[in-house]
Amino acid sequence: MKIIHVADLHLDSKMTANLDNIKAKERRNELLITFNNMISYAVKNNIQAIIIAGDLFDTKNVSMAAKNVVRQAIENNSGIDFYYLKGNHDAESFLAQLDPIPDNLKLFSGDWTSYDLEEDIVLTGVELDKNNSNSIYNSLVLNMDKFNIVTLHGQESEHQKKDKAETINIGELRNKGIDYLALGHIHTYKKATLDARGIYCYPGCLEGRGFDECGEHGFVVIDIENKRCQTTFVPFACRNLYTVDVDVTGSMSTVDIAEKIRGLLDKKDYSPSGLLKLVLCGEIDVECEKDVDFLSKRFESGYYFLKIYDETKLKVDYNQFALDESLKGEFVRTVMSSADLTDEDKATIVRYGIQALAGEELN
């Protein structure tokens, strides 16, 4: 039997943290399209069940369009059973709209609920809340002769944290007869050993939405045969996000920095469909001519979205100004003599002062 384990789709996310309204709407639609494409993948690859381990939606208030896309995708694929365990972001309004609930949509509650996927494969899950998060572990009883999948949504921990309903106490789930622990909540793929018998897995989010969700994203295929399973992470996002550090140490101009950016981008070969955050780092001379706006415009056309963060440190050779009798020299010496400023603040003030004296736009 083949099963897809997916989580943290966060459909209908606003997507406005980095993108303008047009691209934000486009990305919201792409999340829905990727969800549909995943189901098409399931049909083509003889997947019989899809476990959604929480956070199908991003907020409690979901657009009617997103609800309809998900509802129709489930109803139109009656040959696949969808096992939907709600997470901390999910919307009750979606289920309220379904009347009746499709036969192939299976739900969970605040008590352990089990489904027989095949004669020897059982899926068991519970939705965590403040009332059950400390007590559910003792009530989990599994048939040791079956292949047992357990699904939960929350942050893994070796200990239960008081008043933290989203915490999953991994230690309490060991030696319970679990073969595959299907988790959701962490947005990065992770697979690890649970105990001598089983493993636990976070598939990560289906699509990265911000630069805290960089890299490949997708879902996990569980292939079970003779009570043993193989798992495969399937990269499936239509766009990936990347944070790229660019060391520009020694650069003296915008042209120098642009060359270093170009060399790094050519070497890594990031997809033009990707979203990139370039972080300028390293140490540059306080008199380095640097135009971040120009650099952004220079490279943004090559990617779906690109922005540049400047985290460079300023290097000031104060000795070269020690005997400088010009206004610039006097300014630098005055700033340097201040006991109330940190070295970083002094360097920044010196940079702005030199730019102002040269009649340049401050940046």
Residue 303 pLDDT exceeds 70: yes
Do 57 and 67 touch, CB atoms closer than 8 A? Answer: no
Claim: this prediction has a pTM higher than 0.75: yes
Residue 179 pLDDT exceeds 60: yes
Residue 338 pLDDT exceeds 80: no
What pLDDT, on the 0 to 100 scale, is given for residue 82?
A: 97
Question: Rounded to 5 degrees, what are φ and ψ at 59?
Answer: -140, 170
Find the mean pLDDT for residues 145-160.
90
Residue 159 pLDDT exceeds 80: no
What pLDDT, on the 0 to 100 scale, is given for residue 91?
A: 60
Domain range summary for the chain, segments of one domain joined by +: 2-235, 240-314, 316-363
What percentage of residues in the chain have a pLDDT greater than 70? 90
Lowest mean pLDDT among 240-249, 251-260, 266-275: 266-275
Instruction: Please list the residues that pair with 84 across neighbouring strands.
Output: 52, 107
Residue 322 pLDDT exceeds 70: no
Find the mean pLDDT for residues 282-299.
91
Find the mean pLDDT for residues 328-357.
73
What pLDDT, on the 0 to 100 scale, is given for residue 361?
A: 63
What percentage of residues in the chain have a pLDDT greater than 90? 69
Query: pLDDT, tens digit, for every residue of 184-221?
Result: 999 999 999 999 999 999 999 999 999 999 999 999 99
Residue 41 pLDDT exceeds 70: yes
Q: Which long-range contacts (CB under 8 A, 24 or more apart) does 111-114 make?
A: 111/139, 112/136, 112/139, 112/140
Q: Which of 163, 89, 92, 170 lies closest to 130, judged by CA?
A: 163
Find the mean pLDDT for residues 146-157.
95
Lowest mean pLDDT among 9-18, 247-256, 278-287, 312-321: 312-321
What pLDDT, on the 0 to 100 scale, is given for residue 323?
A: 57
What pLDDT, on the 0 to 100 scale, is given for residue 317?
A: 65
What pLDDT, on the 0 to 100 scale, is given for residue 362?
A: 58
Q: What is the rounded distance in angstroms from the CA atom of residue 107 to the CA atom of residue 16?
A: 31
54 compared with 166, residue with greater pLDDT: 54
Antiparallel, parallel or unpaired: β 228-235 and 218-225? antiparallel
Residue 7 pLDDT exceeds 80: yes
Tell whether omega for the bond before 100 is within 30 degrees of 0, i.e. cis.
yes
Q: What is the rounded distance in angstroms from the CA atom of residue 134 to the CA atom of residue 111?
A: 12
Average pLDDT along the chain:
89
Instruction: Tell me the CATH number for domain 2-235.
Output: 3.60.21.10
Residue 319 pLDDT exceeds 70: no
Residue 47 pLDDT exceeds 60: yes
Lowest mean pLDDT among 85-89, 112-116, 156-160, 231-235: 156-160
**3-state secondary structure at position 339:** coil
Residue 162 pLDDT exceeds 60: no
Query: pLDDT, tens digit, for every residue of 83-112?
Result: 999 987 666 667 767 778 899 999 999 999
Work out the pLDDT band at 182, boundaries 50, 70, 90: very high
Residue 335 pLDDT exceeds 90: no
Work out the pLDDT band at 230, boundaries 50, 70, 90: very high
**3-state secondary structure at position 263:** helix
| 363 CB-near residues (< 8 Å, 6+ apart) | 290, 291, 292, 293, 355
Residue 60 pLDDT exceeds 90: no
Work out the pLDDT band at 164, boundaries 50, 70, 90: low
